[in-house]
Amino acid sequence: MKVSDHALFRWMERAGVVDVEKIRTALAQSLDRAWQAGAEMSGGELLVLSAGLVYVIRNGTLVTVLHEDGRHNHARNMARTKPDRTAGDAD
Protein backbone atom coordinates (compact mmCIF):
# COMPACT_ATOMS: atom_id res chain seq x y z
CA MET A 1 0.00 0.00 0.00
CA LYS A 2 1.13 3.55 -0.76
CA VAL A 3 0.12 6.82 0.88
CA SER A 4 -0.22 9.91 -1.32
CA ASP A 5 1.29 13.22 -0.28
CA HIS A 6 -2.22 14.68 -0.10
CA ALA A 7 -3.42 11.91 2.24
CA LEU A 8 -0.35 12.27 4.44
CA PHE A 9 -0.83 16.01 4.68
CA ARG A 10 -4.53 15.65 5.52
CA TRP A 11 -3.78 13.01 8.17
CA MET A 12 -1.14 15.24 9.78
CA GLU A 13 -3.58 18.15 9.77
CA ARG A 14 -6.62 16.29 11.06
CA ALA A 15 -4.80 14.12 13.59
CA GLY A 16 -3.40 17.29 15.13
CA VAL A 17 0.20 16.38 14.34
CA VAL A 18 0.72 19.70 12.55
CA ASP A 19 -0.93 23.09 13.07
CA VAL A 20 -1.45 23.90 9.39
CA GLU A 21 -2.77 27.43 9.96
CA LYS A 22 0.25 28.35 12.08
CA ILE A 23 2.57 27.09 9.33
CA ARG A 24 0.51 28.89 6.65
CA THR A 25 0.78 32.18 8.57
CA ALA A 26 4.54 31.81 9.12
CA LEU A 27 5.11 31.03 5.44
CA ALA A 28 2.98 33.97 4.29
CA GLN A 29 4.81 36.33 6.61
CA SER A 30 8.22 35.14 5.43
CA LEU A 31 7.32 35.67 1.75
CA ASP A 32 5.30 38.88 2.11
CA ARG A 33 8.26 41.26 1.93
CA ALA A 34 9.52 39.70 -1.31
CA TRP A 35 6.01 39.74 -2.76
CA GLN A 36 5.47 43.38 -1.86
CA ALA A 37 8.84 44.35 -3.36
CA GLY A 38 8.32 42.49 -6.62
CA ALA A 39 4.56 42.48 -7.17
CA GLU A 40 4.38 45.77 -9.02
CA MET A 41 7.17 44.84 -11.44
CA SER A 42 6.28 41.18 -11.87
CA GLY A 43 2.90 41.48 -13.57
CA GLY A 44 1.31 39.28 -10.92
CA GLU A 45 3.78 36.37 -11.01
CA LEU A 46 6.91 36.18 -8.92
CA LEU A 47 9.56 33.55 -8.22
CA VAL A 48 11.27 33.80 -4.85
CA LEU A 49 14.49 31.79 -4.50
CA SER A 50 15.50 30.95 -0.95
CA ALA A 51 17.43 28.14 0.72
CA GLY A 52 17.37 25.87 -2.33
CA LEU A 53 13.65 26.31 -2.97
CA VAL A 54 11.67 28.27 -5.54
CA TYR A 55 8.41 29.79 -4.29
CA VAL A 56 5.95 30.47 -7.13
CA ILE A 57 3.58 33.32 -6.28
CA ARG A 58 0.72 34.28 -8.59
CA ASN A 59 -1.56 37.21 -7.90
CA GLY A 60 -0.59 37.26 -4.23
CA THR A 61 -1.07 33.51 -3.67
CA LEU A 62 1.74 31.01 -3.13
CA VAL A 63 0.75 28.29 -5.59
CA THR A 64 3.68 25.87 -5.32
CA VAL A 65 7.16 25.33 -3.97
CA LEU A 66 9.78 23.63 -6.14
CA HIS A 67 13.30 22.38 -5.55
CA GLU A 68 15.87 24.72 -7.06
CA ASP A 69 17.34 22.69 -9.92
CA GLY A 70 19.43 25.33 -11.62
CA ARG A 71 16.81 26.55 -14.07
CA HIS A 72 16.53 29.80 -12.12
CA ASN A 73 20.23 30.52 -11.69
CA HIS A 74 20.04 33.32 -14.25
CA ALA A 75 17.76 35.25 -11.89
CA ARG A 76 20.17 34.71 -9.01
CA ASN A 77 23.11 35.80 -11.18
CA MET A 78 21.27 38.93 -12.32
CA ALA A 79 20.66 39.88 -8.71
CA ARG A 80 24.37 39.46 -7.93
CA THR A 81 25.61 41.46 -10.90
CA LYS A 82 23.11 44.32 -10.72
CA PRO A 83 25.06 47.54 -10.16
CA ASP A 84 24.66 49.26 -6.81
CA ARG A 85 22.64 52.45 -7.00
CA THR A 86 22.85 55.34 -4.62
CA ALA A 87 20.47 58.21 -4.02
CA GLY A 88 22.71 60.49 -6.13
CA ASP A 89 22.59 58.26 -9.25
CA ALA A 90 20.68 59.62 -12.22
CA ASP A 91 18.23 57.39 -14.08
pLDDT of residue 22: 92
**pTM (two decimals):** 0.64
Backbone phi, psi, residue 34, to 5°: -65, -40
Q: What is the pLDDT of residues 44-66, one digit of tens each?
A: 788 888 888 888 888 888 998 98
Q: What is the pLDDT of residues 76-85, one digit of tens each?
A: 555 555 444 4
More confident residue, 43 or 20: 20
Q: What totals of helices (H) and strands (E) does the chain contain, helices first? A: 3, 3
